[in-house]
């Protein structure tokens, strides 16, 4: 590891909810939330557009920037899988 470079903190997805604008948010095992948008051409996440796709991604690990920053846990509403 290069000096001053942090290693990405990988955290599994344990559930989902939507934000006030209807965007999907992954709830991570560490207690943090992370938006998971399908916003081509910048972000390609076709899986987030269907209930089956989101369910298949449960347990998938995402890089958690909030863990790297030692941020406190986010509020996480009841898990929503659909």
Of 8, 10, 45, 9, nearest to 24 by C-alpha is 45
Q: Which architecture characterizes domain 10-68 according to CATH?
A: Beta Barrel (2.40)
Higher pLDDT, 61 or 81: 61
pTM, full prediction: 0.82
pLDDT in tens, 21-80: 999 999 999 999 999 998 888 889 999 999 999 999 999 999 999 999 999 999 888 766
Domain spans of the chain, in order of start: 10-68
């Amino acid at each position: 590891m290069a000096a001053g470079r942090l290693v990405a903190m990988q955290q599994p997805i344990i559930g989902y909810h939507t934000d006030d604008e209807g965007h999907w948010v992954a709830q991570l095992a560490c207690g943090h939330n992370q938006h998971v948008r399908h916003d081509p051409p910048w972000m390609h996440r076709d899986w987030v557009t269907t209930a089956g796709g989101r369910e298949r991604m449960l347990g998938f690990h995402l890089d958690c920037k909030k863990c790297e920053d030692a941020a406190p846990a986010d509020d996480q509403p009841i898990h929503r899988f659909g």
